[in-house]
Structure 1
Amino acid sequence: MSRRGTYDLNVNHQLRNLSSITERENEEEFTVTWKRWLVLAIVSLLNMSVAMIWLCFSPVAYKAVSYYGTSLIVINTLSLIFMIVAIPMGFIVMWVMEKYGLRVCILLCGWFGCIGSLLRICSTIEGLSDDERLVFVFIGQIIAALGSPFGLYTPAKLAGYWFPESQRTIANTIAASSNPVGVILVGLISPLFMFEDGYYHMQLMLIVYAAPITVGAILASIFITSDGPQHPPSYGGTVKKTEKIWGGFKEILRNSMFMLLAICLGTGIGLYASFATLLEQVLCPWGYTDQMAGVSASVLTASGIVGAIIISTVVDKTKKFTEALKSVYFLTALGVILLSFTHYIYMGYGIVGEVALIGFFAFTIYPVGAEIAAECTYPIGTGLSTGIIQLSGQLQSVVLILVLSVIGQPMEPEQVIENNSQCHHNSTIDEQTGGDDNTYDMRISVWVCAGLMTFTSLILTIFFRPKYLRMEAEKEHNNAMYMRRKSHIPGLANGYVNGGLDAEDGTDSITSEKDGSISTIPEEYHITPC
């Protein structure tokens, strides 16, 4: 081999050394720890437990009416408390998260839920009057509701602080999906406490629901000792606590791309909440039983979790956040349109397939959207962006549920009989509770949902063009680190790339790619010629 060829190899050797040095230093500065999965598991347990506390009475509403000696409206209010409390608490949670950090929010979620669930158990103490029972259960429900937003707002910040760039979306998805998992479980667990003799064991049910939130609160207190790991998993994962919170809030409100995203994600959240709440009322007038409607509601959530995990995994690898969001939004809109024109035609379990299609794509809207929000608002804390999205979703949920309920049309008795309506198949319960005997045609409500989803999808597709500020900052940081380390190797710092032996005096040299100048390679970097 010639001397000139040997020096070409010498420069390549230095570049390989530079790459290995950079990798080693990066590993020292940015570290991914196993503890991230433990933190994710604890937060997921808390969010799942809060969801079960929220809806535990819904599957056994009539049993709760009998046990507490009250009306169905009062029992439904126990669930509505969470949505009402979440709106004003959202601003407090955003302030606490940015001022005091992720750990404080996780602990508040756990212990508020624990204390609230224990107070609910006190409502089952023997000797209390019905009014005293209601006081205990309402106070416990309100306290648990106060802690709920602290958990719901954590997924994006947890993913950013604890997980590397390649795992953020899937971590966000797992944490965000734990709440719907609780919704599924509560529908399966609550009915189990109806014994064969017809006695419903309310105390045992409330103890079972208090157990996981208590365990989660204890685990969080023991194992979550900081907002993030000692060494962040990436440049964008550096833990920051914002002192000028309202300044960041104002800046976010001036970010047109984020505000468009917050409105669109809020619409998606609101429509999901509406479907989960009203699905039974949508299907039962057309011959679908309560059991079929319940299965459909569970499938809506279960298929959504599966879809969110699959799609988020792909998005983590491709980084096509905007494309993925627009695609799943469009496909969800198509699913709702299909349902709007077929739900009043009895199809048996075929309706479950349609609902599963909607859920598969709809669930991905929030976790992917939350990642985009973190990107386009960087370096402002993710607690603020997540909080505004959640507030948008809560407000739109309340408005949509009220509006969609009001525009339902009472059906004529002939229509009820003709369509084999299953809404009032248990006349004894209706008489005992003084329920509304009317059956409502919800077709207009579903058409409104389809139109709103389609309109929002078009707006998102046409106007949403975000910038990935967090990814750009990480790229600039990595480039800066590379150039700094490159400067430690003589010659390479000035962009010298072609090496060789000077023909006249035999000295070793490399040629600059910038200006063609020739520089001598220091002797300590020589490689003995072959």
Structure 2
Amino acid sequence: AYLCLVSTLQLWLTFAPVADKTAAYFHISLEAVNWLSIVYLLISIPFGLVATWVLDSVGLRCAVILSAWLNMMGSITRVFSVLKFLSLGSRSYWYLFIGQCLCALAQPLIIFSPTKLAALWFPDHQRATANMIASMSNPLGILIANLLSPALVPEGQHIPLMLGVYAIPAVTACALATLGIHEKVPPTPPSASATNSNSQPFFTGLKMLLRNKPYIILAVCFGGGIGMFTCFSALLEQILCEKGYSNDFAGLNGALFTVCGLLGAFLLGMYVDRTRKFIESTKICFCLSALASIVFAVTSRFRHQAIMLAITSSLFGFFGFAIYPIAMELAVECSYPVGEGTSTGLIFVASQVEGVILMILLQALTVRVSEDPSSTCALDQDGALDWTTPVLVLAGLCSAMACFYVIFFHTDYKRLHAET
């Protein structure tokens, strides 16, 4: 399951760190490259509801195996797009796009699973840590993509090599999931809530969630946060190249963003497992990540600010990613006895909706500027895109979400109370 999670995030952001070279190789626009990421968000909106039903009604094992197969088929289809003997011509992009669509179908099935895994297989005092470890495979996949894609593609002609390398983990994960996962639940339930599982039926649970005010606030704010992080990861290279920063530096920033996020999530997960301070922890981290986003938005508009950009990216990741696993646990706590797959899945669907809106909005706010010899964007003949307004809007939205969450979100820990 962990390898499946890592692989699906790698495949999602394969092209973001080398967007300009991908556009040049396939003879497409940067907007078309961005759609290779946006399609994940679009497909996850309707299929996310299906994935929540599969997790809560069919079971964790089925969800993981189905996700692994879809992910593998998508990664192989992507490789077809660069096979010269097929002579696809202009159709090569559409093979690539179809492959991304198959991978996008796989993502909700596996990305919703950490809370279900933690609830079914771990005792209550280990759930936040277990969820953190599983959930942090997401930024690990992003980290690998940010480091590996620029390293594999110094020039556009190396795109086929990159696609082949990314297919290997997907095929491996599919084989391991198919052959290695045998049980839906452990022989001995690890906690009272796992023993006396009384999750509501899927549609009943959906109705309960839509009437749950704290849950709606969490879904809007935390979903918006995920959407913003999605945009940041997908657009980072394009934001920085116009100011003269290289793809390697953009990849380094993405890596720092992710590594520090892993560290933050680990530390916060351990802290929350001991203290049960879900709400206080998420509110503090949300505010600090908003501050980091403001500093990044300002700093990224200046040249020769590599050290400051690296620091702000690190802080943005440290505080922002730390929220992710804790907020997922908080979603289960405030919505219990709704099934874990449904409560976390609906937040993810909300994040995809907000992510799509943000991606389209931010691209629409860019301004094409004249050629600049200091720009490192590969499409200089068309002029680079200025991202000043979009990054400031992103920081403003992050700050607004943080304020709204701090002021209005309050809830009881329903699952913990039920277990005592």
Q: Which residue of 1 aligns with 2:130?
A: 171
Deviation, 1:286, is 4.2
Does the Cα contact within 8 Å between 1:44 and 1:179 map onto a contact in 2? no
Alignment equivalent of 1:330, drawn from 287, 295, 308: 287
Q: 1:151 to 1:289 in 2, by over 3 A?
A: same
2:100 to 141, 148, 162: 141
Cross-structure match for 1:214: 171
**Residue 344 in structure 1 maps to residue 301 in structure 2:** yes
The residue that corresponds to 1:355 in the other structure is: 313
Q: Output aligned runs, 1:56-205, within 5 Å.
A: 56-65=14-23, 68=26, 70-123=28-81, 124=83, 126-131=85-90, 133-194=92-153, 200-205=157-162
Gaps of 5+ in 1: 1-42, 476-530
**1:464 maps to what in 2?**
409
**Larger C-alpha radius of gyration, 1 or 2?**
1
Task: Trace 1:2-13 onto structure 2 (pairs within 5 A).
Answer: none
Match of 1:314 among 248, 271, 275: 271
CA apart distance, 1:229:
0.5
- Once the two structures are TM-superposed, the CA of residue 66 in structure 1 deviates from its matched residue by 5.5
How far 1:472 moved relative to its partner?
A: 0.8
Pairwise CA distance, 1:89: 0.7
- Deviation (angstroms), 1:438: 4.4
| Contact 1:78/1:141, CA 8 A, preserved across alignment | yes
Query: Relative to structure 2, which stretch is displaced further, 315-324 or 444-453?
Result: 444-453
- Three-state SS of the structure 1 residue aligned to 2:85 is coil
- Determine if contact 1:281/1:423 at 8 Å carries over to the other structure: no
**1:314-463 matched pairs, under 5 angstroms:** 314-346=271-303, 347-409=305-367, 421-424=374-377, 426=378, 429-431=379-381, 436-442=382-388, 444-463=389-408
Question: Which residue in the other structure is 1:24 paired with?
Answer: none
Measure the CA separation in 2 of the matches of 1:335 and 1:229: 42
Q: Over the residues paired in the alignment, what is the CA RMSD in angstroms?
A: 2.6
| Amino acid in structure 1 at the alignment position of 2:285 | V
Letter in 1 for 2:401: T
1:241 and 1:66, CA in 2 relative to 1: closer, same or farther beyond 3 A? farther
Following the alignment from structure 1 to structure 2, what is the Cα–Cα distance between the partners of residues 141 and 175?
23
Matched pairs, number: 418
8 Å contact 2:4–2:68 — kept in the other structure?
A: yes
For 1:97 and 1:280, the matched residues in 2 are separated by: 35
Contact 1:55 1:186 in 2 (8 A): yes
User: So what's the TM-score if we normalise by structure 2?
Assistant: 0.90
Q: 2:48–2:108: 8 Å Cα contact kept in structure 1?
A: yes
**TM-score, normalization: structure 1?**
0.73
User: Per the alignment, do residues 274 and 129 of structure 1 end up closer, same or farther by CA in structure 2, a change over 3 Å counting?
Assistant: closer
Greater helix fraction, Structure 1 or Structure 2: 2
Taking only the aligned residue pairs, the percentage that are identical comes to: 36
Matched residue type, 2:206: F
Report which structure shows greater RCO (CA 8 Å, sep ≥6).
2
Task: Give the direction of change, closer, same or farther, for the CA distance of 1:336–1:137 in structure 2 (3 Å limit).
Answer: closer
Structure 1 pair 421/63, CA: closer, same or farther in 2 (3 Å)? closer
List per-residue Cα deviations over 1:208-260 (Å, max 9, x = no partner). Answer: 22221222222222332222201111112348586731111101111111111
Q: Distance in 1 between matches of 2:346 and 2:332?
A: 12
Q: Is the 8 A contact 1:98 1:243 kept in 2?
A: no
Structure 2 letter corresponding to 1:359 = G
Residues 210 and 423 (structure 1), Cα distance of their counterparts in 2 relative to 1, 3 Å cut? closer
| Cα deviation, residue 119, structure 1 | 2.7
